[in-house]
Chain A
Amino acid sequence: MFPLLLRRFLLLPLLLLSVPAWATDQVEIGLALKSLPLLTQKITGSATMAIIYDPANPASETDARGIKAIMDGGQPVPGGVTLTTKLVRVDALKELAGAKIGFVANGLNAAQFAVLNNALKDSGMLTVSADLNCVQSAACIIGVAARPSVTIYYNHAAAEKSGISFAPAFIMLAKQV
Chain B
Amino acid sequence: MTRLPSFLLVSFCNLTLCATAQAQMVDYGSLQDLYGGPVTTSATGTPMLEKDVPANMTIITAEDIQHSGTRDIAKLLETVPGIYVMHSAAADFNVGVRGYEQADQPRLLVLINGRQVYLDDYSRTVWANLPVNIDDIRQIEVVKGPNAALFGVNAVAGVINIVTYNPLYDNNNVVSFMGGTQNLTRGSATLTHKLGDKVGLKLSGGGMRMDEFDTERGAVEAQRVTDPHRYYVSFDSLGEIKPGMQAGLGMDYARSNNTYALTNGAMSALKTESLSVKGNWAWQTDLGTWKATTYWNRYRTDYKGLFDLPKLAFLTNLVAVQLEDQFQIGKSHTFRLSTEYRRNMFNFDAFQTFAQTPELAYNMWSAGGMWHWQIRDDLSLTSAVRLDRLSLKETGDLWDGAIYQKDEYSRQLTDYSANIGLVYQPTHDDTFRITFGRGIQEPSFVEWGINTTYPSVASPLLPPGTIYDLYGNPYIQPSVTQNYEVGYDRVLAPIASVLRVSVFYQTNDKIKGATTGGAVRVLPGGIITATQAPFANVGDSQAWGGELQLKGKSASGFRWNASYSFARVVDQQSVSDVVHNDGSMPRHMVRLGGGYSYQKWDFDTLFSYLGATNMLRNETGDQTGIGVRHTSGYVTLSGRIAYKLNDNFTFAVSGSNITSLTTQESAFPAVERQALVSVTARF
A175 to B10, CA, bound (A): 9
Whether the Cβ atoms of B25 and A168 lie closer than 8 Å is yes
B13 x A156 contact (CB < 8 A): yes
- Residue in A132, A170, A177 whose CB lies within 8 Å of B31: A170
Contacts of B331 in A (CB 8 A): 176
How many A-B residue contacts, CB cutoff 8 Å?
88
B8 touches which of A35, A136, A148 (Cβ 8 Å) = A136
The answer to the question of A40 belonging to the interface, with a C-beta cut-off of 8 Å to chain B, is: yes
Residues on the B chain within 8 Å of A131, using CB: 1-2
Does A169 sit within 8 A of B, measured CB to CB?
yes
For this complex, 30 residue pairs linking A to B, each with C-beta atoms less than 8 Å apart, are A34-B30, A34-B33, A37-B27, A37-B30, A38-B30, A38-B31, A78-B33, A106-B1, A133-B2, A135-B4, A136-B4, A143-B4, A148-B493, A149-B429, A150-B35, A150-B36, A153-B4, A156-B12, A168-B20, A168-B21, A168-B289, A169-B47, A173-B31, A173-B35, A173-B47, A173-B48, A175-B4, A176-B9, A177-B8, A177-B12
Q: In the assembled complex, which residues on chain B have CB atoms less than 8 Å from the CB atom of A37?
A: 27, 30
Query: Mostly helix, strand, loop or mixed at chain B's interface?
Result: loop
Chain B residues close to A by CB (< 8 Å) = 1-4, 8-13, 19-21, 25-27, 30-31, 33-36, 39, 41, 46-49, 243, 284, 289, 331, 377, 428-429, 491, 493
Judge if A130 is at the interface, Cβ distance under 8 Å: yes
Q: Is the CB of A149 within 8 A of B289?
A: no
A70, CB-defined interface residue at 8 Å? no
**Closest beta carbon of chain B to A19's beta carbon, Å:** 13
- A168 near B34: Cβ-Cβ < 8 Å: no
Q: Which residues of A does B touch, CB under 8 Å?
A: 22, 31, 34-35, 37-38, 40, 78, 106, 130-133, 135-136, 143, 145, 148-150, 152-153, 155-157, 167-170, 172-173, 175-177
Chain B residues within 8 Å of A133, by CB: 1-2
> Is A148 touching B33 in the complex (CB atoms < 8 A)?
no
Interface hub of A34, A106, A131, A155 (most chain B Cβ within 10 A): A34
Query: Which A residues touch B429, using CB under 8 A?
Result: 148-149
Residues from chain A with a CB closer than 8 A to the CB of B493 are 148
B47, A22: Cβ atoms closer than 8 Å: no
Once the chains are docked, how many angstroms separate the CA of A52 from the CA of B517?
83
Closest to A44 in B: B197
> Is the beta-carbon distance between A168 and B19 smaller than 8 angstroms?
yes
A157 touches B31 (CB 8 A): no
Distance A133 CA – B19 CA, assembled complex (angstroms): 27
Q: Which residues of B contact A153 (CB under 8 A)?
A: 4
A9 CA to B2 CA, complexed, in Å: 29
Contact residues in B for A106 (Cβ distance below 8 Å):
1
Contacts of B11 in A (CB 8 A): 176
A73 to B289, CA, bound (A): 41
Evaluate whether A177 and B9 lie within 8 angstroms (CB atoms) in the complex, with A78-B30, A169-B31 already known: yes
CB pair A132 B243 closer than 8 Å: no
Assembled-state Cα–Cα distance A70/B26 (Å): 30
Q: Smallest distance from the beta carbon of B20 to chain A beta carbons, Å?
A: 6
Complex contact A38–B4 (CB within 8 A)? no
Report the Cα distance A78→B171, complex, angstroms: 14
Q: A168-B25, A172-B47, A176-B11 are in contact. Are A132 and B33 (CB under 8 A)?
A: no
Find the B residue at minimum CB distance from A40: B243
A143 / chain B contacts, CB cutoff of 8 Å: 4
Given contacts A38-B34, A168-B289, whether A173 and B39 have CB atoms under 8 Å apart is: yes
Q: Are B25 and A169 in contact (CB under 8 A)?
A: yes
Q: Which 10 A-B pairs have the closest CB atoms?
A: A156-B12, A169-B21, A22-B1, A168-B21, A148-B428, A37-B30, A169-B26, A34-B34, A169-B47, A149-B428
